[in-house]
């Protein structure tokens, strides 16, 4: 296997745990909002969709920031694995509402947002990377 294709499973795991924690906390806050507000009708589909995508993006950022190289690949793996988890949950809850095209689109979109999160993490930790490279160059 080529050096640039190596993945760190701990970084991917941390990204997935972060995304799942974001989903759980966001879902809990939405439930509290429904219980304690006085509105009679709620349209939460868009908010749930944004919560899912933001969780995948955050997971990709966390996974990408924990590695020195191939941050995009680690973010992509977070997106793919969370997309597969979402597909399994969707098919268990309501299989008659989903077509193969819808499921493929969901997997593609979540993988893409994980990839973007991993790529974006390079810009967030650029200073840390420069310091690590300078430290490696200075060691005899």
Domain segments of the chain: what residues?
3-138
Largest CA distance in the chain: 69
Task: Compute how many other C-beta atoms are within 10 angstroms of the C-beta atom of residue 21.
Answer: 13
- pTM for this model (two decimals): 0.81
Instruction: List all residues 6 or more positions away from 90 whose beta carbon is below 8 Å from its beta carbon.
Output: 98, 103, 106
Instruction: List pLDDT tens digits, range 74-129.
Output: 999 999 999 999 889 888 888 787 788 888 898 999 999 999 999 999 888 776 66
């Amino acid at each position: 296997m080529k050096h640039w294709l190596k993945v760190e499973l701990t970084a991917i795991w941390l990204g997935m745990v972060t995304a799942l924690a974001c989903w759980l906390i966001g879902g809990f806050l939405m439930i509290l909002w429904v219980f304690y507000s006085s509105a009679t009708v709620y349209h939460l589909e868009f908010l749930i969709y944004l919560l899912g995508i933001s969780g995948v993006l955050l997971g990709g950022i966390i996974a990408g920031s924990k590695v020195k190289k191939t941050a995009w690949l680690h973010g992509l793996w977070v997106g793919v694995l969370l997309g597969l988890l979402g597909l399994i949950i969707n098919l268990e809850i309501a299989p008659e509402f989903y077509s193969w095209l819808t499921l493929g689109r969901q997997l593609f979109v979540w993988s893409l947002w994980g990839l973007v999160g991993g790529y974006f993490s390079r810009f967030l930790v650029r200073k840390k990377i420069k310091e690590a490279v300078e430290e490696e160059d200075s060691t005899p």
